[in-house]
A and B are shown apart, each in its own frame.
Chain A
Amino acid sequence: MTVQAPAAPTKATVRAPRRRVPAAVWLIGPSVIFMILLLGWPVVEGVLQAFQDENGFTLDFVTRMVQDPYFWPAVRNTLLLIVVMIPIQFAFAIGMALLLRANPRLHKVHFFVWAIPLALSDLAAGLVWLSIFNDRGYLNSVLAWLGLEGSSWLAYDNQTTMFICVLIAELWRATSLVLVIVVAGLQGIPKDYDEAAQVFGATFWQRLRHVTLPLLKPSLQVALILRTILAFQTFAVAQALTGQNFPLVVGETYRWYTGLQNPNVAAALALVILVVSMLTSIFYLRALREKNQGGTR
């Protein structure tokens, strides 16, 4: 009896100090593991691949990448595409979102139709546009039917039309993403602000400039970061339309990896995209944050 009596408290004291995994670890654990496996590991692997050969650290692959005759045209084309495409894309998306906000008849159908490209694979989109722009495509057929002479829009020696074709196809494919974000943002702005501006004499453009766009800024930030990063990765549409005639950075990555069987240079190119994307995001966040602070003061 005297031995058994203290047994219960002992049991309790044993149970209390037993380490329990805090709930926070359980909650955050899966995503940490997920991030390490799917993001961290490939990034490390990619960096190693780009800067390491059998003898250890090397810059050979980077040099080879830069010296490749397609590299600088690919960089130039990618940047050109971004600089031209993104403003047009935002103008379209904001215009379309404003049209939808005016609640025209069947606006839900319009929104659905405008969002369809979002659901399409980019290679499929590229092939659709190829059937339009190629020498015997729909565009030339329509021109012929109208009695006009067609053109080899995608010929390798016709850089301008090639660029325009890729631009149009990318605009068609990727504007819907911006549209969806802007529409969501517009829905979050109470109608009263726009009505107040109307009552106080603001014209459409004054309302857009002084009320709607400033209030839409958070959504535009998100869309801008997303679209710019995604634009660096433009690949399948251009590949389908022009093959290697209109090189883009990701297209080059693909060529080095599959065509030239050189995963190391491909990794170096992929790193270029990663670094540029990160710099862009940081730039946008900085630029837009400073504006916010300026507004407070």
Chain B
Amino acid sequence: MADISISNLVKTYPGGTERATDDVSLEIADGDFTVLLGPSGCGKTTLLRMLAGLELPDSGSISIGGRDVTYLPPNKRNISMVFQSYAVFPHRSVRYNIGFGLQMAKMPKSDIEKKVQWAAELLQLGPYLDRLPAQLSGGQRQRVAVARAIVVDADVLLMDEPLSNLDALLRLNFRSELKKIVQDLGTTTVYVTHDQSEALSLGDQVAVMRKGRIAQLGGPLDVYDAPSDRFVGGFIGSPPMNFIDAAVTADGDTLVVGDQKLMAPSLLRSFKASDIVLGVRAENVAVGTQRSSGDIAATVLVVEPMGSTVLLTVDVEGQTLKVQAPPTFRTAPHQTIWLSFSPNTMRFYDRETSMALEAK
């Protein structure tokens, strides 16, 4: 176990012009579970591979447990990794695969056997130890890859989209199992995914990446509730955060959306008479069929019952919003409904820079 310190890491792939990681710095505390989240091509896998030593950075440094490992080969870093493709050796048995790292470290055979048994039990692979990977299902192969990664006493556990090749149900089950295993081990873990629900459910901290940079770093609820820019808000959450063009009046008390008015929170006093973007999560908009003061009118476009909620697509002054209504809410397309926003769930962004507005 060890902490990780990444500073000013720059990597450009040969032949490429864009930086795969652009001056990334990140501190990960000992025992933390950090998720690197972002769309494909955002540099999250490159960052992980540089941690593993499978890619070397152009500049910057990485240290694990206080030891500078920036240019060390992977086998000198004391790490372990779960690959997206599992990379379970097809020519050897499950037993051999799980014990591979220990065998390379020349551990005595009896100790290897003990550790393999322990990991196999933990991941319910006991009956399959003598099989070849080809005789296992995808989910079981994934378990072998995880078992192989946890038997070695690594400083850092790296995971590269380990669940992305599993089907939806298996992914959901294995996700919580994985979280428990890693919690019990207490190993510092870096986990790469493009799936925002995975990131929120697993991570102690989530680093949302975009174009080689970390757009926001924070706890899962922080990045969900208070996205630092429009990209993060739009990437995290299903449905993504709504963004509505609005304007603050000259006195700073009122927010104008088209012809309708909303009470402006005190934060906006410092942005009198400016064009801004209002960001709000679908579940933070209350819907009603009766008007009450401060509500704004919306026209229903689409009604999607989701079981636990009803997802409505509505039109407000020519802008489209997704809002969540309770499952008992009855409405139909073309009807007018009333939306109310609570001031502490509203987020505000700069129209030009897309960055979150902060009180001056």
Contact = CB atoms under 8 A, between A and B. Distances in A.
Interface of A: 190, 192-193, 195-203, 206, 210-211, 214-215, 217, 295-296
B91 A295 contact: yes
A211 B100 CA distance: 11
Given A192-B83, A206-B104, A295-B132, A198 B91 contact: no
B144 to A, nearest CB: 11
Contacts of B158: 199
Interface stretch (B72-80, B111-119, B248-256, B330-338): B72-80
A195 B87 contact: yes
Given A197-B104, A199-B74, A201-B152, 12 more contacts: A192-B83, A195-B52, A195-B54, A196-B81, A196-B87, A198-B54, A198-B73, A199-B75, A200-B81, A201-B78, A201-B104, A202-B104
Contacts of B90: 215
A201 B79 CA distance: 8
A190 B132 contact: no
B330 to A, nearest CB: 53
A195 B83 contact: yes
Contacts of B81: 196, 199-200
B101 interface: yes
Given A192-B83, A195-B83, A197-B100, A202 B75 contact: yes
A217 B53 CA distance: 28
B85 A199 contact: no
B99 to A, nearest CB: 10
B128 interface: no
Contacts of B83: 192, 195-196
Nearest to A198: B74
Contacts of A202: 75, 100, 104
Contacts of A206: 104
A295 B89 CA distance: 13
13 contacts: A195-B83, A196-B81, A198-B53, A198-B74, A199-B81, A199-B158, A202-B75, A202-B100, A202-B104, A203-B104, A210-B100, A215-B89, A295-B92
A13 B100 CA distance: 70
Contacts of A196: 81, 83, 87, 89
Given A206-B104, A295-B132, A199 B79 contact: yes
A119 B90 CA distance: 36
Contact of B75 (A201, A214, A295, A296): A201
Nearest to A190: B85
A199 B89 contact: no
Interface centre among A201, A210, A211 (most CB of B within 10 A): A201
Contacts of A193: 87, 89
Nearest to B85: A192
5 smallest beta-carbon distances between A and B, as pairs: A200-B101, A192-B87, A196-B87, A198-B74, A201-B104
Contacts, number: 67
Nearest to B88: A196
Contacts of A214: 91-92
A267 B9 CA distance: 71
A161 to B, nearest CB: 43
Contacts of B85: 190, 192
Nearest to A203: B75
Given A215-B90, A295-B91, A201 B73 contact: no
B80 A200 contact: yes
B148 interface: yes
B105 interface: yes
B105 A201 contact: yes
Contacts of B132: 295-296
B142 to A, nearest CB: 13
Contact of B152 (A197, A200, A295, A296): A200
A144 B285 CA distance: 94
B89 A211 contact: yes
A203 B90 CA distance: 20
Contacts of B91: 214-215, 217, 295
A198 B78 CA distance: 11
Contacts of A190: 85, 87
Nearest to A292: B91
Nearest to A206: B104
B89 A198 contact: no
A234 B53 CA distance: 47
A193 B148 CA distance: 13
B350 to A, nearest CB: 42
A217 to B, nearest CB: 8
Nearest to A215: B91
Contacts of B53: 198-199
A200 B54 contact: no
B324 to A, nearest CB: 41
A296 B131 CA distance: 8
Nearest to B105: A201
Contacts of A296: 132
Most B C-beta atoms less than 10 A away, residue of A192, A197, A199, A203: A199
A212 to B, nearest CB: 11
Contacts of B79: 199
B73 to A, nearest CB: 7
